[in-house]
Amino acid sequence: MSVPMRWETPVETAAPERAPAPLRRRRVRRARRLRALLGLMGSAAILALGAAGVRSLALGTRPAELRLLAAAPSSQQVRLGGAKVERRLGFVTVTGDVRNQSARSQSRVEAVVELLDSRNHTLQMESSLIAFDPLAAGESAPFRVELADDPHAVAYRVHFKRLMGPRLD
């Protein structure tokens, strides 16, 4: 027969005190009302954000078309062959081609694009080197210029110049 090493007394666990039944029912009803109210507020917030998102998408998918303004002719060493503009995701991308009309090759030619407002004031300007360097006499070369969009822009203008130098068109 074995003898326990220490004396163990049974520990009684007291049951937690419960609130009276009417108070419990009131708490349960209050919690249900609070959950219902929070659910309605959350649903209303989700609907409002969804409507705002759909509206912004609808407005963002139909940007106003930009029209090309012809640059004033100067020495006409190079000429714009054609240009296409695309407005997308807050940027304007102008692609096109330039043609060398002079009898000698042109080096370090860059395309300059200006976004213009309704009064033909410049809002944004950016430039990029054309694809071929040098541009041989009579040859055409593509260009691509990307710049940040401005919602007030209604037109754009393209001209060409030497890198760090004078205009060519």
**Residues 65-116: pLDDT tens digits?**
888 887 656 568 888 888 999 999 899 999 999 999 888 998 999 999 999 9
Statement: the pTM of the whole predicted model exceeds 0.85: no
In 2-153, beta strands by DSSP E: 67-69, 78-88, 91-100, 109-116, 122-129, 140-148
CATH number for 67-162 (one of 2.60.40.3230, 3.40.50.1370, 3.40.50.300, 3.30.390.50): it is: 2.60.40.3230
Instruction: Sheet containing 109-116: give its strands across.
Output: 67-69, 155-162, 109-116, 122-129
The segment with the largest mean pLDDT, out of 39-43, 58-62, 108-112, is: 108-112
* Bond preceding residue 22 cis, omega within 30 of 0: no
